[in-house]
Structure 1
Amino acid sequence: MRVAIILKTFPPDVIGGMETQTKRMATELHHQGHDVTVFTKRFGDHDDSDVPYEVVRIQNWRVNPFVSDLTFLVFAMLALIRRRNEFDVLQCMMLYPVGFLGYVLNRLTGLPYFAWVRGGDYYFMNDVWWKRWMMRRVLDDTLVLAQSGKIRDDVVADFDDIECNIDILGNAVSIPDETASGEGVLYVGRLAPKKGIEYLIDAVAEINASLTIVGDGSERDRLERRAAEAGADVTFEGEVDPDDVGRYYRSAGVFALASTEGEGMPNVVLEAMSWGLPVVATDSGGLPSLIDTGYNGYLVPMRDSQALSAKIERLLADDQHRANLGENARRFVADYHSWEALCSELKTHYERVT
């Protein structure tokens, strides 16, 4: 299958969950015999020699985020119109705005397309009327994939006046040969307000546990002050190359995610579970589809540092319990979130829309 994948940002410009997932997904699809081309924004000069497929970096005018997005969509549309005969299907990695671009291209050229609801982004956009109007066009027109049943249910409830064709397909990760055998608590991700890291800092301070934070962002200075004020044992590692994050998983005992807003299906949670780490996370977005409380981790209420600390303390205090939940977490990811399983399902969806 000749597949064009479109998303706004791509590594190394952005190494967030969707970007990292798309890069690895495209590689796996290539290895399985698909002809893959990724279309994304151009931020700088990249040779993209680390991937086995074509990456088309589209010019955009970075006056402000709106103009950057608008010019990217216009120039991407022109590029895809020019190359429309090279592709069998367009895979849009978000419902808005690239899903709407797929809708327009389909009307102009007949190129089949589908969109993927990335939960964390959807929850921040569905209250803007013109974004909802664009999302409605896509939802009422083609196949849409959601990362979890919870996200699908939320989308269906938000657009209950139309019949949405939504299937569930989550993220995938590679299963490492090793398993984690360390101590302490680990967080990997952006230091952004919605991640609730201050609650995690308060939680580990309460039980005198060590916390390693891998990642950077706008909240770092504030969080460092919060850790100092709380007397918490927190190490800020800053941004780490994705290929080097494995050593942090390997040396941890528990993975924690204290998000305060809707999450999709965070890659970092799947990666932590693949290393055999039990996860303590807030009941947010697609996380309940990954974590079975008491089996492979624990779900706790959002903005509740005491609940976080109680579950983290239980896991750190009981080596056997922690090992059992970690083994269950690793098995769950191997069974349901491997690359082989995801690419097989994607092939089915390609055939459905073409």
Structure 2
Amino acid sequence: MLLVRHGKQGLDFMASRVLMVGPSPEAWGGVATVEKNILDAVASTGREVHFVATMRDGSKFTKILMFPQAFFEVRRELRQCDVCHIHTALGMSYKRKYLICKEAAKANVPYILHVHEGDFENQYEHMGAEEQTKVRWMLQNASRVIALSEEWRSYFVRKFELANIVVLENAVFVPQEVSEQKDPTKFYFLGRMCPKKGVDTLLRAVRCLLLTHPETKVMLAGGGEELESYQQLANELGVGRNVEFLGWADDLMKARLSDECLTSVLPSDAEGLPMCVLESMAAGCASIATRVGGLPSLIDDGVNGLLVEPRDPEGLAKAMSRCIEAPDWARMIAQRGRQTIIERYSMKAYLKKLESIYEKVARGSE
């Protein structure tokens, strides 16, 4: 029998035994942020989800050594749980999670596959036949597949004919108060320094923007193997003095950036529903993002944020210029964006939806 625990802050959570598996919540990136938010929200109800980390930041050797230990812990914990909640992307992530899914199926424990990969369609198409077969097996044998938006739900239904898919849009904790002193000439970016995040597009947009707004400053918070190449590109484009590469951002740095900057920018080629955009909107920043993944479901262009096309430096520069030239308008956009998060993407509503998914999976109901 499933029981409901009544906890702090008005949050309730089902007392079914849940095993959650994914990268460490202390790792860098959006998946870890989602996990951390869930675990913090559940903890506020007075109970816990047992979490097993299959990956931590570190050397390749460290990651290789970690997984066998995690796998045997998962095998042990599957004997005493009702539901296994598995977070995955593609790349190396799916290879680890495929083994976890097989083990859950072997133990007759229903599993939920929470798909975070924003570039899923492209990556899947470039996989070999054997890899595609494994991905299809994971999706089709899950009790539920969680998609991050209606756009992604439609893709999974169309591509894999899934009947077990539900939409659970990412959510964030909303700050009680936000800064009133945000500078319209300052922008910030959060994300891994890699091509699919559109870092080169942002740097080229800055070059366009400096022609009319030489006072512009852009802070880029994120790491990755290509960080140095982007620093070099910034110098080659002549924007090195106007951009600052900060490395990975912890919670304190994120708070500082959202306090200082009126606008956040994420010019990605592909996304699910990025946590950094939700967080910036919750913090009262105007958000400029690309028209990809679940972002059109979140942002109504010109109403609660701004949408631009990917790989369009001129279009991105134009959107950034609007925020500089019309700061009162940008602040109005930011206020509407924050209200959107409060009404649709708060952790309290998210936890209720997740609770319902767990209950149905644990009971074997449709």
Q: Report the Cα distance in structure 2 between the residues aligned to 1:279 and 1:185, rounded to whole angstroms.
A: 10
Q: Report the Cα distance in structure 1 between the residues aligned to 2:203 and 2:307, rounded to whole angstroms.
A: 17
Of 180, 199, 204, the residue aligned with 2:201 is: 199
Q: How far has the Cα of 1:63 moved from its partner?
A: 5.6
Give the direction of change, closer, same or farther, for the CA distance of 1:302–1:43 in structure 2 (3 Å limit).
closer
Relative to the length of structure 2, the TM-score reads 0.83
Determine if the alignment matches structure 1 residue 100 to structure 2 residue 98: yes
Give the direction of change, closer, same or farther, for the CA distance of 1:227–1:43 in structure 2 (3 Å limit).
closer
Query: Sequence identity, in percent?
Result: 28
Q: Deviations over 1:51-86 (max 9, x none)?
A: xxxxxxxxxx95698xx39x82x6544433323332
Q: Report the Cα distance in structure 1 between the residues aligned to 2:55 and 2:195, rounded to whole angstroms.
A: 27
Deviating more after overlay: 117-126 vs 275-284:
117-126
Of 264, 268, 273, the residue aligned with 2:272 is: 264
Q: How far has the Cα of 1:198 moved from its partner?
A: 1.4
Determine if the alignment matches structure 1 residue 218 to structure 2 residue 228: no
Q: Deviations over 1:246-288 (max 9, x none)?
A: 011110011111112x211111100100011111111122221
Q: Report the Cα distance in structure 2 between the residues aligned to 1:297 and 1:309, rounded to whole angstroms.
A: 15
Work out whether residues 256 and 281 of structure 1, in 8 Å CA contact, stay in contact via their aligned partners in 2.
yes
Equivalent residues in 2 for 1:29-44, closer than 5 Å: 29-41=42-54
What is the letter of the counterpart of residue 252 of structure 1?
Answer: C
Q: How far has the Cα of 1:116 moved from its partner?
A: 0.9
Partner of 2:135: 135
Q: Deviations over 1:89-110 (max 9, x none)?
A: 1001127346534542343221
Work out whether residues 84 and 104 of structure 2, in 8 Å CA contact, stay in contact via their aligned partners in 1.
no
Determine if the alignment matches structure 1 residue 176 to structure 2 residue 178: no
Q: Report the Cα distance in structure 2 between the residues aligned to 1:107 and 1:214, rounded to whole angstroms.
A: 40
Equivalent residues in 2 for 1:1-354, closer than 5 Å: 1-7=16-22, 9-12=23-26, 14-41=27-54, 68=64, 72=67, 76-94=70-88, 96-97=94-95, 100-120=98-118, 122-123=120-121, 125-127=123-125, 128=127, 129-141=129-141, 142-159=143-160, 162-180=161-179, 181-183=181-183, 184-208=186-210, 209-232=216-239, 233-260=242-269, 262-354=270-362
Q: How far has the Cα of 1:24 moved from its partner?
A: 2.2
Q: Report the Cα distance in structure 2 between the residues aligned to 1:64 and 1:75, rounded to whole angstroms.
A: 12
Q: Deviations over 1:117-172 (max 9, x none)?
A: 1132634541223332122223323211100111112222222xx34321110111
Q: How far has the Cα of 1:42 moved from its partner?
A: 5.9
Q: Report the Cα distance in structure 2 between the residues aligned to 1:106 and 1:227, rounded to whole angstroms.
A: 47
Work out whether residues 119 and 151 of structure 1, in 8 Å CA contact, stay in contact via their aligned partners in 2.
no
Q: Report the Cα distance in structure 1 between the residues aligned to 2:263 and 2:55, rounded to whole angstroms.
A: 37
Give the direction of change, closer, same or farther, for the CA distance of 1:31–1:207 in structure 2 (3 Å limit).
same
SS at match of 1:326: helix
Q: How far has the Cα of 1:317 moved from its partner?
A: 0.8
What is the letter of the counterpart of residue 10 of structure 1?
Answer: S
Partner of 2:10: none
Work out whether residues 125 and 131 of structure 1, in 8 Å CA contact, stay in contact via their aligned partners in 2.
no
Q: How far has the Cα of 1:4 moved from its partner?
A: 0.8
Partner of 2:6: none
What is the letter of the counterpart of residue 196 of structure 2?
Answer: K
Q: Report the Cα distance in structure 2 between the residues aligned to 1:300 and 1:192, rounded to whole angstroms.
A: 19
Work out whether residues 28 and 248 of structure 2, in 8 Å CA contact, stay in contact via their aligned partners in 1.
no
Q: Report the Cα distance in structure 2 between the residues aligned to 1:239 and 1:227, rounded to whole angstroms.
A: 18
Q: Report the Cα distance in structure 2 between the residues aligned to 1:83 and 1:224, rounded to whole angstroms.
A: 45
SS at match of 1:245: helix
Work out whether residues 174 and 338 of structure 1, in 8 Å CA contact, stay in contact via their aligned partners in 2.
yes
Deviating more after overlay: 269-278 vs 18-27:
18-27
What is the letter of the counterpart of residue 132 of structure 2?
Answer: R
Give the direction of change, closer, same or farther, for the CA distance of 1:302–1:152 in structure 2 (3 Å limit).
same
Work out whether residues 89 and 111 of structure 1, in 8 Å CA contact, stay in contact via their aligned partners in 2.
yes
Q: Deviations over 1:24-50 (max 9, x none)?
A: 2112112224431111136599xxxxx
Give the direction of change, closer, same or farther, for the CA distance of 1:224–1:266 in structure 2 (3 Å limit).
same
What is the letter of the counterpart of residue 258 of structure 1?
Answer: P
Q: Report the Cα distance in structure 2 between the residues aligned to 1:31 and 1:297, rounded to whole angstroms.
A: 31
Q: Report the Cα distance in structure 2 between the residues aligned to 1:219 and 1:107, rounded to whole angstroms.
A: 39
RMSD, matched Cα: 2.4
SS at match of 1:302: coil
Give unmatched runs, 5+ long, in structure 1: 46-60
Q: How far has the Cα of 1:340 moved from its partner?
A: 0.7
